[in-house]
Amino acid sequence: MKNPFKFFKEEVDRYAKILGLNEWDIQCSYREIEGNVVANVNSNYHSLMAHITLNTKAKEQYSTAKKISQVAAHEVLHIFLREMDDLARARYCTELEIDVAEHRIVNTLDKILIDYKEK
């Protein structure tokens, strides 16, 4: 594959669209990350901003299009679940906040499953 990072960014955009993350500002970079990680994501649900870094030192772990796609999906799913993660870590949250976050996830996954079934 000539440009794995370009394909990675395209896959991030594709998965973000599938998961309805249209309001998010998702940026990607391609640089060295310390530690034994293929990629990482930093995200903020309140500002709807996320930054995904693909590790230049882990090229052997994303040597095929399928592997790159899996890494992109994995990182985008972290963004998708950011709201639930924030609520789980909060010192206080209401039942309504949890219900709203859960239903956002369920409604998105429901749409994906129905669309998949119709194909």
Question: Which CATH number is 96's domain given?
Answer: 3.30.2010
Lowest-confidence pick of 25-29, 68-72, 107-111, 114-118: 114-118
Distance CA 36, CA 2 (A): 24
- The pLDDT value recorded for residue 90 is 87
pLDDT at 111: 86
pLDDT digits (tens, 9 = 90+) for 16-25: 999 999 999 9
Q: What is the mean pLDDT of residues 40-59?
A: 95
pLDDT at 10: 97
35 pLDDT higher than 70: yes
Q: How far apart are CA 14 and CA 60, in angstroms?
A: 23
DSSP codes, 36-76: S-SEEEEEETTTTEEEEEEEGGGGGGG-SHHHHHHHHHHHH
Give the chain's length: 119
Output the pLDDT for position 115. Answer: 76
Domain that holds residue 67: 4-118
The predicted structure's pLDDT at residue 69 = 94
Q: Which residues contact 64 (CB under 8 A, 6 or more apart)?
A: 1
* Predicted pLDDT at 82: 95
State pLDDT tens for residues 94-105: 999 999 999 999
How many structural domains is the chain composed of?
1
Query: Which residue in the block uniquely carries the two structure tokens 């998105």?
Result: 108
Instruction: State how far the Cα of 102 lies from the Cα of 73, in Å rounded to an integer.
Output: 20
In 3-state terms, what secondary structure has residue 23? coil
119 pLDDT more than 70: no
Among all chains, which residue has been given the structure tokens 């930093």? 42
